[in-house]
Amino acid sequence: MSDASTSGARPEIPEMLAGADPLFRFADWLKEAEKSEPNDPTGMALATVDGDGMPDVRMVLLKGYDARGFVFYTNFESAKGEELLAQPKAALLFHWKSLRRQVRIRGEVSVVSEEEADAYFASRPRDSRIGAWASRQSRPLKGRAELVKEVARYALKYPIGAVPRPPQWSGFRITPLQIEFWRDGAFRLHDRLVYRRDGADQAWRTEKLFP
């Protein structure tokens, strides 16, 4: 049940007041989502643009964030990998239905360091590392049997010991230039607080928006 009055108005609460570092605010919201979301609180929609200028969107998992930005990993030969390498700008959306909140992020994209990619790849389950070699992501697949065959081939190639990171597998970092926090309100009178800056080394500006 909403905590709004029958008029749809309600007092602002500290979490939606301007000020504070947006990453601190994001950390608080994510921590709450990790307690309440039944599955993948780090799931985020990633929007890109292809070579024809057509938008593209899919769900990926956040694997880390700090003052430099938000990180996820993928195959650079996938559709999203090729799109981000060609057009290094992206948008993210976190939607936490249990909390009736969302966070929208827009920013510039860069590739993570080799050391970061190696460290994260090594932390993955062995079967996931084998799968990264076996999957020609976003390419046509004749049938499930073809994928199973590729998995078996690489399992034989790396039967024991470390599985090296494929050269086409790494990560992207989205450095935010805009972060919007949205909280559901009764009668669609939602709370919206947006942070904007002109560059990664610039100060954040805040602004409240109409629903």
Query: pLDDT tens, 64-104?
Result: 999 999 999 999 999 999 999 999 999 999 999 999 999 99
19-28, 55-64, 100-109: segment of lowest average pLDDT: 19-28
What pLDDT, on the 0 to 100 scale, is given for residue 168? 96
Cα separation values, 19 from 6, 14, 208, 211, Å: 29, 10, 11, 19
Query: Percentage helix, strand, coil, to 5, in the chain?
Result: 30, 30, 40
What pLDDT, on the 0 to 100 scale, is given for residue 17? 63
What pLDDT, on the 0 to 100 scale, is given for residue 137? 86
pLDDT in tens, 54-67: 999 999 999 999 99
| 173 part of the active site | no
What pLDDT, on the 0 to 100 scale, is given for residue 123? 97
Catalytic residue among 188, 192, 197, 205: 188
> pLDDT tier at 206 (50, 70, 90 boundaries)?
very high
pLDDT in tens, 129-154: 999 999 988 889 899 999 999 999 99
Give the whole-angstrom CA distance, residue 11 versus residue 21: 22
Fold assignment, 14-113+173-208: Pnp Oxidase; Chain A (2.30.110)
> pLDDT tier at 186 (50, 70, 90 boundaries)?
confident
Give the whole-angstrom CA distance, residue 205 versus residue 199: 12
Half-sphere exposure of 107 (CA within 13 A, CB side): 24
The domains of the chain are located at 14-113+173-208
Question: Is the torsion defined by CA of 211, 12, 104, 184 positive or negative?
Answer: negative
